[in-house]
A = this chain, B = another copy of it.
Amino acid sequence: MATAITDLSLVHEFLSMRKATTDICRPLLTEDYSVQPVDFVSPPKWHLAHTTWFWEEFVLAKYKQKYKRYNDTYAYLFNSYYNNMGDRVDRQMRGINSRPAVSEIYEYRAYVNHQMEQLLEDEKNNKELKKLVEIGIHHEQQHQELLFYDIKFILGHQPYHPAYATGYEMKKVNVEEQWIDIDEGIYDIGHSGDSFSFDNELGRHKQYLNNYSINTNVVTNGQFLEFIKAGGYQDFNLWHDEGLFWKDTNQILAPLYWHQKDDVWYEYDLHGLQPLVLDEAVRHLSFYEAFAYAEWKDMRLPTEYEWEVAATHLNKGHTWEWTYSAYLPYPNFQKAPGALGEYNGKFMINQMVLRGSSRVTADEHSRDTYRNFFHPSMRWQYAGFRLAKKML
């Protein structure tokens, strides 16, 4: 999506993106589609339906004349969090609805795909529509990544750790690490130009940065293992007060999906439970754990500005990376009118920014200005980090 959408390709791009979503679900059993082990994990079936609901409610209902919804009750069932779109099923209740069946949701997707295909052909010159379709494509790509997180959580928390599929193994971080020095001064931050971005990246603006050094590499499993062995989880001086409480309450002793058996460490990944690979990027960490590691090293996490300014020099794409920036609006942030105004702005509190992209981010869904965000305690997403420090 880094390039403008040409008239000819939009239908193709839409359909190929839609197929990518269902491709992710192909290895699943019917049983896997409906499970919700915790509040923040949605059943795969729900993602398939909600991303379809998005096209129906935000595009078809608005642009297609006399559009007849596939099923009127879905407006209620598959709304995620849009207050402007009416009532909805409580988030933690998504896993109790065994109906509509998985096959029904696939029919719903096919129906909406067909309707969209017609609409896009009928309205080739409608620029406003194109803009909306771009957003819809990026919205669904976000859910593609969430599907990986949720599937991994669902299968990875079953007693016998079934594998999802091969083909999603991590790349090794086997480039030697270096420190990049960045001089103090005024830098431009944020998205500009005609290409797609979310509203939270807009409002390119000046930011003053002090001298700093940033590492080319993300921290690896092997490096994080040193922290564990050195007693990092036990040294309270390395932790935020709330991090300490979170860690102790949840008995956290290692990244999510790490398992120790007879002194050997294993990691559950999409291809099953595997011996820990030391030169892969460490992932599935909370902000608290990333922060504690940096404290232990007497360094710190980069801010999102520092990350963005140095981005062209970094070895990235392994995992999203926690920054030491709170998710707050850029100066002069403007939220979109109507329901799409709920997309980003209303979440700008109590969350930290992550930059980069991960092994399971959709192609063309990463940008150096992209602002991802999660609560500091969340770690089912692909979240790792890199170090920064004062320039020597």
Q: Give Cα distance in the complex from A186 to B287, angstroms.
A: 30
A210 located at the interface, meaning its Cβ lies under 8 Å from any Cβ of chain B in the complex: yes
Which of B97, B159, B347 makes the CB contact (< 8 A) with A159? B97
Mark out the residues of chain A between 149 and 193 whose CB falls within 8 Å of any chain B CB in the assembled complex: 154-155, 157-160, 162, 184, 186
A313 located at the interface, meaning its Cβ lies under 8 Å from any Cβ of chain B in the complex: no
Mark out the residues of chain A between 58 and 88 whose CB falls within 8 Å of any chain B CB in the assembled complex: 73, 76-77, 81, 83-84
> Which of A238-246, A261-269, A362-370 binds B?
A238-246
A206 located at the interface, meaning its Cβ lies under 8 Å from any Cβ of chain B in the complex: yes
Which of B89, B96, B242 makes the CB contact (< 8 A) with A35? B96
Q: Which residue of B lies closest to A349 (CB)?
A: B240
Q: Quick one: which of A29, A37, A206, A332 has the most chain B CB within 10 A?
A: A29
Given the interface contacts A31-B30, A350-B350, does A154 sit within 8 Å of B98 by beta carbon?
A: yes
> Which of A14-22, A111-119, A222-230, A322-330 binds B?
A322-330
Which of B73, B154, B206, B346 makes the CB contact (< 8 A) with A208? B206
- Tell me how far the C-beta of A214 lies from the nearest C-beta in chain B, rounded to whole angstroms: 13
Which of B35, B207, B208 makes the CB contact (< 8 A) with A95? B35
Mark out the residues of chain A between 6 and 50 whose CB falls within 8 Å of any chain B CB in the assembled complex: 29-37, 45
Mark out the residues of chain A between 246 and 290 whose CB falls within 8 Å of any chain B CB in the assembled complex: 287-288
Which of B101, B329, B350 makes the CB contact (< 8 A) with A29? B101
Do B99 and A31 touch (CB < 8 A)?
Answer: yes
Q: Give Cα distance in the complex from A23 to B81, angstroms.
A: 40
Nearest 3 CB-CB pairs, A to B? A326-B326, A208-B208, A31-B98
Do A98 and B32 touch (CB < 8 A)?
Answer: yes
Chain B hits for A291, CB < 8 A: 349
- Tell me how far the C-beta of A103 lies from the nearest C-beta in chain B, rounded to whole angstroms: 9
A315 located at the interface, meaning its Cβ lies under 8 Å from any Cβ of chain B in the complex: no
Q: Could you give 5 example pairs across A and B, Cβ below 8 Å?
A: A35-B95, A84-B237, A207-B208, A237-B342, A240-B348
- Tell me how far the C-beta of A293 lies from the nearest C-beta in chain B, rounded to whole angstroms: 15
A390 located at the interface, meaning its Cβ lies under 8 Å from any Cβ of chain B in the complex: yes
Do A34 and B34 touch (CB < 8 A)?
Answer: yes
